[in-house]
Amino acid sequence: MFQNKTPLQAGLIFGLIMVVFTAIYQYYEGAAVDLKLLVSSLTGGAVGGFVYGGIEWLKRR
């Protein structure tokens, strides 16, 4: 899925996946939309994806 992706692309994909899962969790818990939680999920997913994508990119070089 992440083959031939730059670290930035992998970070964006991971970040968006994290936001989707967080939004689904908030919806099923019946909680109000917590913007701070969504932003932290996006940031955490993006950083994790960027690091993962960077490692994979360096392995392919």
Domain ranges of the chain: 7-60
In this structure, are residues 4 and 56 in contact, taking their beta carbons and an 8 Å threshold? no
What whole-number distance in Å separates Cα of residue 56 and Cα of residue 51?
A: 9
Report pLDDT digits (tens) over 16-43: 888 888 888 888 887 777 788 888 888 8
CA-nearest of 18, 14, 20 to 52 is 14
Q: What is the DSSP string of 32-44?
A: PP-HHHHHHHHHH
Q: Confidence class of residue 3 from pLDDT cuts 50, 70 and 90?
A: low
Instruction: State pTM to two decimals.
Output: 0.69
Place of tokens 């989707």: 20
